[in-house]
């Protein structure tokens, strides 16, 4: 609500709700978000280190990757997939 002056009278008026186009979220969008979150962990660098040195990935990193994969799979199976699927509430805590 807002207060407005209309023809020398003061009135309360309501702003009509804005209609935003409905965005359909696809499974590929969820998978892209999962890849983005894994890139934030620098998973490619850790896998390269494992390949070169033979030292396995840290357990915490492996666990986070599995949690991201599980969250991605769960979100992909939802019908409909929420439009706010990229919010941290759906994904494992990264810190």
Q: What is the pLDDT tens value at each position of the chain, 95 positions in all? A: 555 566 666 556 666 677 777 778 999 999 999 999 999 999 999 999 999 999 999 999 999 999 999 999 999 999 999 999 999 999 998 76
Q: How far apart are CA 43 and CA 61, in angstroms?
A: 8
Residue 33: inside a domain, yes or no?
A: yes
> Phi-psi bin for 78: left (phi > 0), alpha (psi -120 to 50), beta?
beta
Residue 13: inside a domain, yes or no?
A: no
Burial readout 58-93 (b: 16 or more C-beta within 10 A, e: otherwise): eeebeebbeebeebbeebbeeeebeeebbeeebbee
pTM over 0.75: no
Which structural domain, as residue segments, surrounds residue 86?
24-90
Determine the pLDDT at residue 21.
76
Determine the pLDDT at residue 6.
60
Residue 63: inside a domain, yes or no?
A: yes
Q: Is the backbone peptide bond immediately before 80 cis, with ω within 30 degrees of 0?
A: yes
Residue 46: inside a domain, yes or no?
A: yes
């Amino acid at each position: 609500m807002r207060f407005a002056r209309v023809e020398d009278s003061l009135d309360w008026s309501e702003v009509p709700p804005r209609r935003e186009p409905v965005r359909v979220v696809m499974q590929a969008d969820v998978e892209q978000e999962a890849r983005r979150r894994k890139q934030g962990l620098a998973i490619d660098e850790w896998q390269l280190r494992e390949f070169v040195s033979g030292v396995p990935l840290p357990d915490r990193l492996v666990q986070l990757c599995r949690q991201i994969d599980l969250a991605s799979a769960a979100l992909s199976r939802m019908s409909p997939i929420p439009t706010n699927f990229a919010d941290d509430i759906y994904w494992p805590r990264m810190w």
